[in-house]
A and B are shown apart, each in its own frame.
Chain A
Amino acid sequence: MPRASKRKAPPPTSPSLASCDVVSKRAGKGRPRKDVDKIDSLFESYANQSLNMIDPTGIEALCSDLKVDHTDVRILMLAWKMRAAKQGYFSKDEWQRGLKDLHADTIPKLKKALPGLEKELTTASKFEDFYAFAFQYCLTEERQKSVDIETVCELLNLVLGPRYQLQVDLLIKYLKVQIEYRALNMDQWMHFYRFCNEISFPDLKNYDSDQAWPVIFDNFVEWVRDKQS
């Protein structure tokens, strides 16, 4: 999962012991529904008690347990599944939502659910939703409308790379070279996806500048055409 640049992760505590404790403590209590219970306790094992949210530390711990790097796209997908609002944090509701949907109440089950999640996101409509979410997730400040170019490049690679590696590579190259835009907004972000979908590559023959593409794409196409000639 891409990090917000300002956050620095404190050294990880050892969560695994803590979770065991919690589980054992709760085992003796009444008889609530098993899965919800388990999901909740799993939440507690990672959550920051004072915030009642899983914070970046907790997420790092989670990643470690899942044996998935925290920059892996699957974590982002998980965030999407949860409809997580704030980057680096999972609320209880979000956690419940996500894990319930995935039918997972333990770490191993969660890990097993990840491939399924990836598959789910191959359908066009879900992917588009995920794609939009990925950008939205980076708008961490209040009233922030755009994301810096560096982050955009990383995000593009992460989210669109697997599908359109060649286009993404070229786009990233351009974005790093051009000086006009220091950050991009949601409208431009959405158009990357549309661009990769609709425009033939590498010739870009069917690109029509009358079709209301954002100016950055007009510039990109011109840059590519200049290079090719």
Chain B
Amino acid sequence: MSNQKKRNFQIEAFKHRVVVDPKYADKTWKVLEHAIREIYNHNASGLSFEELYRNAYNMVLHKFGEKLYSGLVTTMTSHLKEISKSIESAQGGMFLEEMNKKWTEHNKALQMIRDILMYMDRTYIPSTQKTPVHELGLNLWRDNIVRSSKIQTRLLNTLLELVLRERTGNVINRGLMRNIIKMLMDLGPSVYRDDFENHFLEVSAEFYKGESQKFIECCDCGDYLQQAERRLNEELERVTHYLDAKSEAKITNVVEKEVIANHMLRLVHMENSGLVNMLFDDEYEDLGRMYNLFRRVANGLSTIREVMTSHIRETGKQLVSDPETLKDPVEFVQRLLDEKDKYDSIIRLSFNNDKTFLNALNSSFEYFINLNNRSPEFISLFVDDKLRKGLEGVSEEDVEIILDKVMMLFRYLQEKDVFEKYYKQHLAKRLLSGKTVSDEAERSLIVKLKTECGYQFTSKLEGMFTDMKTAQDTMQGFYASHPELGDGPTLTVQVLTTGSWPTQPSVTCNLPLEMSELCEKFRSYYLGTHTGRRLSWQTNMGTADIKATFGKGQRHELNVSTYQMCVLMLFNNADRLNYKEIEQATEIPALDLKRCLQSMACVKGKNVLRKEPMSKDIGEDDAFFVNDKFTSKLYKVKIGTVVAQKESEPEKQETRQRVEEDRKPQIEAAIVRIMKSRRTLDHNNVISEVTKQLQSRFLANPTEVKKRIESLIEREFLERDNVDRKLYRYLA
């Protein structure tokens, strides 16, 4: 065992400082400075990354970050100034090349420098809130190169010059452009915007203003629009290739404004090539282009729509007032349908089925169709023609298509009740003469009308069909109970329920004896089975088939109206009859009798009678004979005059009057309905409510409504308020 002295170890502090070599910082900095230089001079391969990093690290550690940073700034700045000079001295096309090259090099160098100085970047810079190295490098480039007084303007002008050259048809170095532009973008959004984009947009506006002004003077509309489309596509391409994506919207706006918006009205109204001409000629492609271009600008589409609307209204107005077209109702309606088809196609193919355009089309049609108050009659005549012969041999689907088109026109009518009246008349004639091409087609149309207007519209029409069906059964029953009549003339009776069929004034007509006896037998038969009814013969609506033998033995079967039959049968007992005698014998009203005689004596091919004198009109003293020389290629000759025709003026007046009369109770019913639910209502509101309620049938005349109100006041359904005389009150 050894005696060990316990010693207290004391660690003494270093008595003397370790003095860092004051020149240490300078020395270290010099190393780094040198390195930066070498990096810029493309001599980086000889450097040791580790050593440089360590040096930088130490500087920061020993509190020499400030020196390091400011040194960096100074070195880079001076270097960039040299680079700036070299770029400035580049000639012509080399200017951008040089800049691009230097920029690439700068970025590479900056990368390396940043790596070396990473420690500073991460510690010193955040704590002192100085700009990080990479950003610093970009800012220095920006301030010393891009915004240097000698370069800034030149750079901008060069870029804009290139864009202009490209726009005027030359090829430029797009890759180079892209790099330079990207450089500006990298330097910051405000740099791109202020140093390039704003100017670019300004210059582009000037360019397009000039170009469009030139083109509008010398191009036609279609060509101009094609050019506009081309330019827009070009600019899109430009952006994709070498501009910032955010510029797309801005440059597009510029082109749209200068090329389209500023010249919109002039284009649309251009003589010989504007919108109206395109519509007229069905230029689908040009119209589509116009639509697509105009929809980009404010009011573009509404401009097109307005011009289209006024054009349709104008042509429509001419169509419905053209006396030539109005001579043939079927032609008239066909032209309306053609017009509608035309515009439907245009809107579908060129205007993207745009609903606002369809609405404009519909309102235009509604406007001009109702300008002519014979439209309802004509549409009914068109339907009549189709259902008589026009749909012969047409497939079921095509029939539906045509009927749907008719319904479409029907919807435009304001006076639907007038249509109803005519339709009823024409349908009656079709049914009674058995001249319907297709029962299904008739029914199909009735169903469509019912869907459109409700049950009341069609209930009477359906009654007509029912009557026709019943007639068959009735005739069977009649002949079954009178077998002795089998040899005589065949009678076919259609019993029409009054109210379902159009009202006809009862007319006088003396039937030939054979017929009148037969008719009486029928009457008693019918009334025997249906007590409490009254029958009146409608001699103005019947037809007859009679066999006739003429002078040379020609035999024919004549299909005639009842009136005509009465006249012809008279000649069984007389060779010559004058007008007065015929009138007396038949008691047919003068106007009808004259028409009847005309159709048998004055029409080529149907002149079974001969008239003296041979004039076209029927005079009171004319004499009639059977035309022994009558010939016809056909055995069966049709002379009937029961076809639905355009009404004569007095007939038209009469129908119109009846329609007006029918409207009065409808107006009153509407007024009462409204007042009953509202109890009190002021005058103007009553008028507007009534008009609205009756809209689906006809357009109510405010004066007429007023008169009905007065009538209701007189009959004490309504009263005026004592204090406010504009207010009406319902009296329960």
**Chain A CB within 8 A of B127 CB:** no
For window 129-169 of A, CB contacts with B under 8 Å fall at 145-146
For window 684-732 of B, CB contacts with A under 8 Å fall at 684, 703, 706-707, 710, 713-715, 720, 725-726
Known contacts A194-B725, A210-B684: A215-B710 contact under CB 8 Å? yes
B117-156 contact mask (Cβ, 8 Å, vs A): 1 or 0: 0000000000000000000000000000000000000000
Query: What is the distance, in angstroms, from B562's C-beta to the closest C-beta of chain A?
Result: 41
For window 647-671 of B, CB contacts with A under 8 Å fall at none
A166-194 contact mask (Cβ, 8 Å, vs B): 1 or 0: 00000000000000000001111000001
B726 and A218 contact, CB distance less than 8 A:
no
Among the listed A146, A188, A211, which residue makes an inter-chain contact with B683, where contact means beta carbons less than 8 Å apart?
A211
A210 and B683 contact, CB distance less than 8 A:
yes
Known contacts A210-B684, A214-B706: A187-B714 contact under CB 8 Å? yes
* Residue count of chain B within 8 Å CB distance of chain A: 13
Chain B residues within an 8 Å CB radius of A186: 714
Chain A residues within an 8 Å CB radius of B720: 187, 212
Query: What is the distance, in angstroms, from A74's C-beta to the closest C-beta of chain B?
Result: 28
Known contacts A214-B706, A215-B707: A185-B714 contact under CB 8 Å? yes
B703 and A215 contact, CB distance less than 8 A:
yes
Among the listed A145, A185, A215, which residue makes an inter-chain contact with B706, where contact means beta carbons less than 8 Å apart?
A215
Known contacts A187-B710, A188-B710, A211-B726: A218-B684 contact under CB 8 Å? no
Chain B residues within an 8 Å CB radius of A187: 710, 713-714, 720
B345-374 contact mask (Cβ, 8 Å, vs A): 1 or 0: 000000000000000000000000000000
Query: What is the distance, in angstroms, from B259's C-beta to the closest C-beta of chain A?
Result: 50
Tell me the bound Cα distance from A215 to B708 in angstroms.
Answer: 10
Tell me the bound Cα distance from A212 to B706 in angstroms.
Answer: 8
Tell me the bound Cα distance from A212 to B687 in angstroms.
Answer: 10
Chain B residues within an 8 Å CB radius of A214: 706, 710
A191 (CB) vs chain B CBs: closest residue: B725
B709 (CB) vs chain A CBs: closest residue: A212
Query: What is the distance, in angstroms, from A15's C-beta to the closest C-beta of chain B?
Result: 40
Chain B residues within an 8 Å CB radius of A210: 683-684
Query: What is the distance, in angstroms, from B281's C-beta to the closest C-beta of chain A?
Result: 48
B726 and A146 contact, CB distance less than 8 A:
no
Query: What is the distance, in angstroms, from A220's C-beta to the closest C-beta of chain B?
Result: 14
Query: What is the distance, in angstroms, from B125's C-beta to the closest C-beta of chain A?
Result: 82
Tell me the bound Cα distance from A212 to B682 in angstroms.
Answer: 9
Chain A residues within an 8 Å CB radius of B710: 185, 187-188, 214-215
For window 192-229 of A, CB contacts with B under 8 Å fall at 194, 210-212, 214-215, 218
Chain A residues within an 8 Å CB radius of B725: 194, 211-212
Tell me the bound Cα distance from A111 to B703 in angstroms.
Answer: 49
Tell me the bound Cα distance from A145 to B711 in angstroms.
Answer: 11
Tell me the bound Cα distance from A211 to B703 in angstroms.
Answer: 13
Tell me the bound Cα distance from A188 to B725 in angstroms.
Answer: 12
Chain A residues within an 8 Å CB radius of B714: 145-146, 185-187
Query: What is the distance, in angstroms, from B35's C-beta to the closest C-beta of chain A?
Result: 96
Chain A residues within an 8 Å CB radius of B706: 212, 214-215, 218
Chain A residues within an 8 Å CB radius of B707: 215
A198 (CB) vs chain B CBs: closest residue: B725
Query: What is the distance, in angstroms, from A189's C-beta to the closest C-beta of chain B?
Result: 11
For window 47-94 of B, CB contacts with A under 8 Å fall at none
B707 (CB) vs chain A CBs: closest residue: A215
B714 (CB) vs chain A CBs: closest residue: A185
Tell me the bound Cα distance from A160 to B726 in angstroms.
Answer: 23
Tell me the bound Cα distance from A211 to B727 in angstroms.
Answer: 10
Chain A residues within an 8 Å CB radius of B726: 211-212
A211 (CB) vs chain B CBs: closest residue: B726
Query: What is the distance, in angstroms, from A146's C-beta to the closest C-beta of chain B?
Result: 7
Query: What is the distance, in angstroms, from B722's C-beta to the closest C-beta of chain A?
Result: 10
Among the listed B683, B703, B715, which residue makes an inter-chain contact with A212, where contact means beta carbons less than 8 Å apart?
B683
Tell me the bound Cα distance from A210 to B683 in angstroms.
Answer: 8
Chain A residues within an 8 Å CB radius of B683: 210-212
Query: What is the distance, in angstroms, from B577's C-beta to the closest C-beta of chain A?
Result: 45
Chain A residues within an 8 Å CB radius of B684: 210, 212
A186 (CB) vs chain B CBs: closest residue: B714
Chain A residues within an 8 Å CB radius of B715: 145
Tell me the bound Cα distance from A146 to B660 in angstroms.
Answer: 24
Tell me the bound Cα distance from A229 to B714 in angstroms.
Answer: 34
For window 634-658 of B, CB contacts with A under 8 Å fall at none
Query: What is the distance, in angstroms, from A128's C-beta to the closest C-beta of chain B?
Result: 10
Tell me the bound Cα distance from A194 to B725 in angstroms.
Answer: 10
Residue picked from A186, A194, A212, A214, most chain B C-beta under 10 Å = A212
Tell me the bound Cα distance from A212 to B715 in angstroms.
Answer: 18
Chain B residues within an 8 Å CB radius of A211: 683, 725-726
Query: What is the distance, in angstroms, from A107's C-beta to the closest C-beta of chain B?
Result: 39
Tell me the bound Cα distance from A145 to B682 in angstroms.
Answer: 24
Chain B residues within an 8 Å CB radius of A215: 703, 706-707, 710
Chain A residues within an 8 Å CB radius of B682: 212
B708 (CB) vs chain A CBs: closest residue: A215
Tell me the bound Cα distance from A210 to B715 in angstroms.
Answer: 23
Tell me the bound Cα distance from A212 to B703 in angstroms.
Answer: 10
Tell me the bound Cα distance from A188 to B707 in angstroms.
Answer: 11
Tell me the bound Cα distance from A194 to B723 in angstroms.
Answer: 12
Tell me the bound Cα distance from A215 to B713 in angstroms.
Answer: 13
Tell me the bound Cα distance from A215 to B715 in angstroms.
Answer: 16
Give the interface of B toward A (CB within 8 A).
682-684, 703, 706-707, 710, 713-715, 720, 725-726
Q: A185-B710, A215-B706 given. 4 additional CB < 8 A pairs? A: A186-B714, A187-B713, A211-B725, A212-B706
Name the 10 nearest CB pairs between A and B, nearest first: A212-B683, A212-B726, A185-B714, A187-B713, A215-B706, A215-B707, A145-B714, A214-B710, A215-B703, A211-B726
Can you list 28 residue pairs at the A/B interface with Cβ under 8 Å?
A145-B715, A146-B714, A185-B710, A185-B713, A185-B714, A186-B714, A187-B710, A187-B713, A187-B714, A187-B720, A194-B725, A210-B683, A210-B684, A211-B683, A211-B725, A211-B726, A212-B682, A212-B683, A212-B684, A212-B706, A212-B720, A212-B725, A214-B710, A215-B703, A215-B706, A215-B710, A218-B703, A218-B706
